[in-house]
Amino acid sequence: MTEKKKGLTYADAGVDIEAGNKAVHLMKDTVRSTFRPEVLADIGGFGGFFALNKDRYREPVLVSGTDGVGTKLRVAMLTGRHDSVGIDAVAMCVNDILAQGAEPLFFLDYLAVGRLSPEQVAAIVGGVAEGCRQAGCALIGGETAEMPGFYGPEEYDIAGFAVGVVERSRIIDGRDIVPGDLVIGLPSSGLHSNGYSLARKVLLEVAGYGVDTYLEQLGRTVGEEMLEPTRIYVKAILPLLDRFKMKGLAHITGGGLTENVPRALPEGTGVEFRLGTWPVPPVFNLIQETGNIAASEMLRTFNMGVGLVAVVARAEAGAVMADLSARGETSYLIGEVVEGKREVTYT
């Protein structure tokens, strides 16, 4: 008689259900730490429940956004540090819906991995939870997919989905922007999550730096600089919406000031930025000089030190900046709305 051959299991194919269960267990407390009073169910169900507080709004409008972290993840994989990219995933979504005047309510993440390491997944989701705490929104759901053969054993990707709410009458759509309005910039924390294909090529290939290379002009290693999380602007901006008329907001992502600001402008207007009115973090000068990159290319690829732009009436600009300063927020008067064809110019 021959011994019956043992049948294959899901684990033999590269998917470890037990590891997935362990990951969920490890992340439960950090996920719960993001819950708002409107969250109705614990994690583990088939959907997240969020009861909108209808007493706060006459005509509530839901605003949604989705984004990923891009090739910044490659730097995380090179350094073995995975606890901050989740913040980026949240930031890229909540800053976008904030630009429409919306308060972020809840967030969901999608994480795909080549091989599921419970500790690594818990670190990534821990970053997502931290981003949600910074944004004041609840992490009410997510999906972790183990995909061997599609991603390498150490590879993964993450995407996020945010939903917020704004009163219909307070939607920020730029329609009231007119020539003469002033443009205020809030500083970025560095590269944020954009332009990493170019940044990696310049720093890791052209310059030949490693992620552990310490650079005096940065005051830290290349990897630490490149993994600096995207700044979340929710708590800086939401108080302004109750006190001032914010005519336009623009989240400065891929495309830089050149491509993102026009998205907030009505027909017949443009923006003239005054170079030198805000500090440019050293990493951008390093990339530009090392890669011999034209200034115009830098301005349409990176945020160049400005992560969020607000357009306000000239008469309110001083008060807006004073309000920000009183709450410990830095801002710069960086430009003016002019007549134009929804384009950006620099002087």
The domains of the chain, with CATH numbers, are: 17-170 (3.30.1330.10), 182-346 (3.90.650.10)
Average pLDDT over residues 48-76: 93
Whether the pLDDT of residue 2 is over 80: the answer is: no
**The dihedral of CA 66, 145, 139, 48: what is its sign?**
positive
pLDDT at 5: 67
Residue 141: burial class (beta carbons within 10 Å; 0-12, 13-18, 19+): buried
Report the share of the chain in percent with pLDDT over 70. Answer: 93
Cα separation values, 210 from 77, 227, 255, 290, 340, Å? 13, 13, 26, 15, 44
Beta-sheet strand order (sheet of 60-68) = 60-68, 156-167, 103-113, 138-146
Average pLDDT over residues 147-157: 93
pLDDT at 11: 72
Its pTM stands at 0.93
Average pLDDT over residues 140-168: 94
Report the share of the chain in percent with pLDDT over 90. Answer: 82
pLDDT bucket at 114, cuts 50 / 70 / 90: very high
Whether the pLDDT of residue 48 is over 90: the answer is: no
What the block records as the tokens of 235 is 């708590």
Compute and round to an integer the Cα radius of gyration of the chain.
22
